[in-house]
Structure 1
């Protein structure tokens, strides 16, 4: 289950005019009550595991006297990934909120309709704005917070002022919702609902405010946020609510339990209630036709209330155009098909399964872009959730390739159609957590929030010398200066990490990632990250799988998407210890690493740390929650992935001299001096099992080098200590371009290192600059690529003519 709400109290210290509770209090029909701890424990036992548990309903959660104990009880069960609630933030001092954090509360959403003392009484009567504003600041220093704001004619003119005041506090996610009639009689629209002009003006303001206030992430969510335009709300299938009396209600608006024949979670398990009986009957009837109570719900994109505000007209059927597009592709007229689908995308009526079938045909022909367009049209036509039911029942989404799924979600994410994203993502495996996030860099986030951030006095520019030469001593690349990341050590509170994932997830819509937050970021930089399902600018959607959670009070992060690759581990991750070693981190703070790394990676980590520390392995099906995370950056610009046409600047991936010398010093402490009988000439080959960037005539070259007295080996077959000893003792090293060159860190000054490579050598400065810094002599011996996939396919296989290798050795005086 993705999310569940538990109403722990019906008491409240405010009287919001449009609230159901306020009306009942005025009619003297309301009795405030708290859920008991015994009943609460029973409900928790009967609920299935869920991504998010929200302790919120009609009342104010902080009025429950046992709230800290309830959070502790939830955390002891470990079946819920995140615990949070929405509050008016008028109760509790700093010690109270710190206790909630200590018990395991992840995040807080604060209701703020206005910070003006007059306006607020029209919206949330009883609010003291001075107390509210002070408490928002105080709570934001304990938790990542978000703010929900209900927009109505009572406060719409005051929203810019409220936003400006919130921006002074720091990093806040703001969600603006349309005013909703929550009174018992929902046959009439909200008495202060926004007009079409007001909605359009508000949407325009939000767009400009996001540019004006970079510390805020502001989203305005009309009903299309919750479902398909003109269609049906999807929330009843995604976020059930348990009332203070233990009854289940699938709809957040229809909270009267008699609609569902008082289905109790105290007496029956969730599955018994949800899959059979009154709840199941109600959901089936909802799929056949929404009840009349939905008509004036502002969260229902097909209801009259929503249509009155935004205007809705029945569009034409796009099905024939989509079919014609498929026929056009068969005729080889892709441009004509693109135009047809563009026209069809403006239509809203049609047969969703038929259009989906057409999308799958386009996908099977390799027309991924056209398939994505048709897939989105199919979703837009699925007003009665026919396609959703079919997909959910048969697993048909398995037909969708990962690339197509990413493209579809990226387009939806670009327009922030969360209802559609939720619908598509909601049918993926139950243990996958899907959430959009805003990308931020660690430094900018720390400066905005005041989190500890220590800048280290290292150069921000690395000079890479003109040493990229071939064996004929011909210059291949000019020397230049490359910008490198500012050295720092940061302490990030309350984070969540996943196996082989570079992101640092904060609780409220933020993901920290230095690479993707860098201005040099490019469209390919997340293409190969297994966590990312969609990206649009600074918004990213991730698919994170977790069957269990590990909780750690304090830890050092040494995890990432490519820690299992030796070259990346040695050049991208381990040099971070150069920064971490300067932070005086207590010796009992453990290091987090990805489970499954080869033994050589762990040996290298222990050598570079040069001190005993506990190592915690994060498993593939696990996430880890850390109260205090120590983080250091990549030393250089390491984008996450390149397409075969991406021309990478040769200044990328350059390790600063200080980091190179640090790594060399730490490794050499564990390498013995070369013995008289150690091999002096070594050739490090590349195994065919890697499946890419292979030297196609490797066997021919290996036979030739054996005649010249070379020891030929695959470095990964040896323990790390033996690998380093061989490199350190060699008088000459020849290696196929790959991770093994990282061991060149321990070569003796003056050693020639020949890299056999193909023509796309844009990342060869990774090794040549490192070799030059330690006094070695790097050379390239290049050959043509075999079947390159693009103009800069650095992973293409290649062939190095034997005469090139022979000429290089003759020039260096390496005789048999």
Structure 2
């Protein structure tokens, strides 16, 4: 068995639709519809920019794709985690974002997952044209992603799929993860009740032959049941005495969306009872315990703040962001996870080389107004 030199997209709706786990696993090229497509209006979270008056914002319309659980037998895992059948049909649900990019900048999307787009033809990379580096005969559950070394993208695009694997009847297939995930996020799987013996680390080069692989699409944060199921996997009770926490970013993370007047912001928040934590300075287990103990979590928008996924229902979230980095994820989280979210939007100094991570400054009156809106 070798990877065909030319590949093509295999859409989930080309697979046979079944409604039962048993029948799904018994045949290849089958799928279960896990979640219907959603399109609904979410009220935007309160937002402050200048002074004490909230910024008027239109209701946010959230659209989430239908999510399928698919299975392929005698399959290949190539590139940075793309699943293909023996004829070179790529099951695009396996890599978040690739399907969404099919009509826009496809070359960049396929390059991100280690494939080649040449003269309008999707090709196998040269380093994948030899024999497989391994033949995996046990069932696997696909949990790879081209950008899964980034914690924020991992939380958005990869981790929610775990809820589907946890819903499968025992014995469940092992998780196929990258070396980067096993190295960086093994603590997170442990906190979610997934042991090392339940994971198989994919080789960093070459391709795999797999007898049976399960693939779930990306639910994102729009689907309430998935997000609540993930939160429910986190062990531990909510403490009676809960804290107000400001997450401070240091090192290389401080260069991404740096808050230029952070010292003044911290002074205002400390006066309201916040304590400052630097997640990287704490053991991983303690980081999770901090999230569970929070009554309020504040910080610059990013992976640290998105750990609010693991906070108890009713936790207040103060999101600090900029006009150059407005994202809707916390709007969805507020709806899905019963969080109370307010944001402060600062003026941004756009950097040409990386607009997403440009420096910004917060208006302190707007910060005070946001705190008052959260009853802090």
Taking structure 1 as the reference length, the TM-score comes to 0.40
Which residue of 1 is the match for residue 291 of structure 2?
727
Relative to structure 1, the CA distance from residue 632 to residue 811 in structure 2 (aligned partners, 3 Å threshold; closer, same or farther) is: closer
Match of 1:557 in 2: 142
Measure how far apart 1:533 and its partner are.
4.3
Q: Distance in 1 between matches of 2:32 and 2:264?
A: 51
Question: Which structure is higher in RCO with an 8 Å CA cutoff and minimum separation 6?
Answer: 2
Q: Is the 8 A contact 1:495 1:507 kept in 2?
A: yes
Does structure 2 conserve the Cα–Cα contact (< 8 Å) formed by 1:439 and 1:516?
no
From the superposition, tell whether residues 689 and 611 of structure 1 become closer, same or farther in structure 2 (CA, over 3 Å). Answer: closer
The gaps in structure 2 that reach 5 residues or longer are 18-26
Of stretches 766-775 and 603-612 in structure 1, the one that deviates more from structure 2 is 603-612
Counterpart-to-counterpart distance in 2, 1:495 and 1:567: 29
1:510 aligns with 2:95: no
Greater percentage in strand: 2
Q: Which moved more, 1:527-536 or 1:551-560?
A: 527-536
Q: C-alpha distance in 2, partners of 1:585/1:630? A: 14
Query: Counterpart in 2 of 1:211?
Result: none
Choose which of 244, 250, 255 in structure 2 pairs with 1:687. 250
- 8 Å CA contact 1:106–1:494 kept in 2: the answer is no
Deviations along 1:404-434, whole A, 9 cap, x unmatched? xxxxxxxxxxxxxxxxxxxxxxxxxxxxxxx
- Pair 695,496 (structure 1): closer, same or farther in 2 beyond 3 Å: farther
2:67 maps to which of 487, 498, 511: 487
Q: SS where residue 655 of structure 1 aligns?
A: coil
2:334 alignment partner, one of 763, 767, 771: 771
Give the 3-state SS of the residue equivalent to 1:671 in structure 2: coil
Give the total of aligned pairs.
355
Aligned pairs for 1:122-201 within 5 A:
none
Distance 1:716 1:536, change over 3 A: farther
Q: Partner of 1:781 in structure 2?
A: 344
Task: Compute the displacement of 1:481 (Å).
Answer: 4.2
DSSP 3-state at the match of 1:468: coil
**Residues 609, 477 of structure 1: CA spacing in aligned structure 2 closer, same or farther, 3 A cutoff?**
farther
Hey, what's the Cα distance between the residues in 1 that align with 2:54 and 2:37? 30
Say whether the 8 Å CA contact 2:12–2:68 is kept in structure 1: no
Determine the structure 1 residue equivalent to 2:155.
570
SS state at 2:133 partner: strand
Counterpart-to-counterpart distance in 1, 2:372 and 2:309: 25
1:84-483 matches, cutoff 5 A = 105-106=1-2, 435-444=5-14, 451-456=28-33, 458-471=35-48, 472-482=53-63
Alignment of 1:650-689 (within 5 A): 654-667=221-234, 670-676=235-241, 680-689=243-252
**Correspondence for 1:756:** 320
Q: Which has the higher helix share?
A: 1
Residues 497 and 543 of structure 1: CA distance in aligned 2, closer, same or farther (over 3 Å): same
Q: 2:342–2:374: 8 Å Cα contact kept in structure 1? A: no
Deviations 1:259-303 (A, max 9, x none): xxxxxxxxxxxxxxxxxxxxxxxxxxxxxxxxxxxxxxxxxxxxx
| Structure ID, larger Rg | 1
Residue 615 in structure 1 maps to residue 199 in structure 2: yes
Q: Is residue 580 of structure 1 aligned with residue 165 of structure 2?
A: yes
Change (3 A) 1:566 1:591: same
Query: Please, what is the CA RMSD of the aligned residues?
Result: 3.3
What is the CA distance between 1:609 and its match in structure 2?
5.5
Which residue does 2:368 correspond to in 1?
806
Write the distance in 2 (CA, Å) between the matches of 1:692 and 1:542: 34
After superposition, give the CA deviation of every residue in 1:85-133 in whole Å (9 maximum; x if it has no partner): xxxxxxxxxxxxxxxxxxxx448xxxxxxxxxxxxxxxxxxxxxxxxxx
How big is each residue's C-alpha offset from its partner over 1:591-623, in whole Å with a ceiling of 9 and x where there is no partner? 211103366622323444557853111232343
Displacement of 1:810:
4.2
What is the TM-score of this pair, normalised by structure 2?
0.81
CA 743–710 in structure 1, closer or farther in 2 if over 3 Å, else same: same
| SS of aligned partner of 1:721 | helix
Note the alpha carbon deviations across 1:683-735, whole angstroms, 9 max, x for none: 11233403432323334423443343322123244344322322222222111
CA distance in 2, matches of 1:530, 1:491: 20
**Following TM superposition, by how much is the alpha carbon of 1:465 offset from its aligned partner in structure 2, in angstroms?**
1.3
Secondary structure of the corresponding residue to residue 329 of structure 2: helix
Any idea what SS the aligned residue of 1:739 has?
coil
Unaligned runs of 5+ in 1: 1-104, 108-145, 147-434, 637-653
2:46 and 2:190 mapped to 1: Cα distance? 34
Moved more, 623-632 or 602-611: 602-611
